[in-house]
Structure 1
Amino acid sequence: MKRLWLRLSFLSILAVSLISLSCDSATSPRLGLNIVASVSQHITFRIGVENTGLKKETLTFGSSQFFDIEVKDQGGHLVWQYSYGLYFAALVWNLELAPGESSQVREYVWNLMGNDQEPLPSGSYKAKIYITNSRRDEGLSTVISLTI
């Protein structure tokens, strides 16, 4: 099991862990990181936030959704989105993080099926993982490359 801990900016996505059964390579050129992921049967995403700054930070959310994941093919077409077809409770909540504090890590296992419930064909894809707070901050997102 390989884990990728991302510390992107002042307030950052804490972790994206890709777990798989084979050893295909996914690369995040933006961060210069190499992720070893088995994408033959599933990918497990583990996502959280860490305050890497010097003061308390508050993230405000407009629903129970904490993160989203979008996977696009080489042509830039959305082939799968975590939130597709899901409903989230409409509520306002805050996540307060002291300096150095991390949120609870959420986990999602993706079965490599597209939004149409068909298996994705072999190829290269980009996955954008982001926190869904009300004031979107690109520092709370990352893009990784996947090869299936």
Structure 2
Amino acid sequence: MFESSQGLSGYAKTKHPKEVATLINFFINDPDAAKILGNDRGVPVTSKNRQLLESGASEVDKIVYDYTGRVSEAAKKEPFAVSYNPPGFSEYSKLAETTLYEIGFGRKSVEDAVKDFYNGTVKIFNNNQNGNS
């Protein structure tokens, strides 16, 4: 399942249904809104706006677009839910939380914690190449 982390909705009993629909339509379909929002609220849901942003995307954003495209394609072919998290994400998330606590409670210096976090992240990514988790 490909899930959204954020949503935009309008109150069903609003006194201004046309205005609400216009605003939501603007956020979803308008190229200017796509340019203003960029990827701050996630990858645009329409292919037209996604293509608009892809043309000027940073290297990091290109990775996000590529990953989103791959998951979207897999979701069309696979009969089961597809996770939007990359392989090893739960390990990475736990490492990030542990690192935060180690720094916060003075168990490690910032420098040592960052070094260990980096090395742990590299190990997690290397262990999870080719979709192995």
TM-score range, shorter chain: under 0.3
Structure with larger Rg: 2
Query: Which structure features the higher share of helix residues?
Result: 2
- TM-score, L = length of structure 1: 0.20
Higher relative contact order (CA 8 A, sep 6+): 1
